[in-house]
Amino acid sequence: MKGIKNIIFDLGGVLLNINYKLTNDAFVALGVTNFHELYTQFQGADLFNNLETGHISTAEFLEEMHRHVPESVTDEALTTAWNAMLLDFPLQRLQLLQQLRQHYNLYLLSNTNAIHLEAFNKILQESRGIPSLTTFFEKAYYSHLMGYRKPDKASYQLVLEENNLKAEETLFIDDTLPNIEGAQAVGLQTIHLQSPKTILDIFRPQNAG
């Protein structure tokens, strides 16, 4: 950690446990037996990308999803299924963030959407009594509010420029290789966090200062 003054964290798979299969299973339970194929189709059609960059609204996203689910499925049921992948914030990870704030400037950079943002802050409130993830960071950056998503160079550059950070003094942690490569392209120091390792394995006590 020599020379590092700032740390940018990814969210899903790094701080928040997620399981994409649960969303697949939830949509199958709603009667969408081909959700995996549908998900791939939506990625190709930029539906998810547009949701994550704020180019379509939650209402527009749900309207498109309604075209692929039984007529009886409500907005609430769709939202619940979409959020099923979001699990929990392990207490030790949140405690680690609090410890790291004493030594580094912390930032969050997440590819997410308005539906998930509301849901994971609710998880944090109900499980830990903390109303918002922003509590742990100098600033939290969410793709749907930024208009960019990782691995677009602009997403990393926005964090650096808004906060006057030097790339070589800034560590970026993510569990997705393309996002790591995007960060490296703008000069960030990086750690590719791969399961079963967690951020607790990166920051042993001797590395916290």
The whole-number average pLDDT for the span 53-62 is 96
* 189 and 111 within one domain: yes
- CA torsion through residues 111, 114, 115, 118, sign: positive
- The torsion defined by the Cα of 62, 68, 71 and 72, in degrees rounded to 10, comes to -70
- Could you tell me the strand order of the sheet in which 139-142 lies? 139-142, 105-110, 6-9, 170-174, 189-192
The whole-number average pLDDT for the span 152-180 is 98
* 182 and 119 within one domain: yes
* 139 and 203 within one domain: yes
CATH of the domain at 147: 3.40.50.1000
> End of a domain among 83, 115, 134?
83
Band the pLDDT of 22: cuts 50, 70, 90: very high
The whole-number average pLDDT for the span 120-129 is 96
Residue 128 lies in a domain: yes
Instruction: Give how many domains the chain has, as a whole number.
Output: 2
- In this predicted structure, what is the pLDDT of residue 38? 86
What are the Cα distances from residue 42, in Å, to 45, 51, 204? Answer: 5, 11, 40
* 100 and 202 within one domain: yes
pLDDT in tens, 193-206: 999 999 999 997 64
Residue 184 lies in a domain: yes
Q: Would you say residue 122 has pLDDT above 60?
A: yes
* 184 and 116 within one domain: yes
The whole-number average pLDDT for the span 167-187 is 98
- pLDDT, greater one: 2 or 3: 3
- In this predicted structure, what is the pLDDT of residue 206? 45
Band the pLDDT of 71: cuts 50, 70, 90: very high
* 151 and 125 within one domain: yes
CATH of the domain at 52: 1.10.150.240
* 24 and 13 within one domain: no
pTM exceeding the 0.75 threshold for the entire prediction: yes
- In this predicted structure, what is the pLDDT of residue 205? 60
- In this predicted structure, what is the pLDDT of residue 207? 44
The whole-number average pLDDT for the span 89-107 is 97
Domain residues for 144?
6-17+88-207
Residue 135 lies in a domain: yes
* 197 and 163 within one domain: yes
> End of a domain among 83, 103, 118?
83
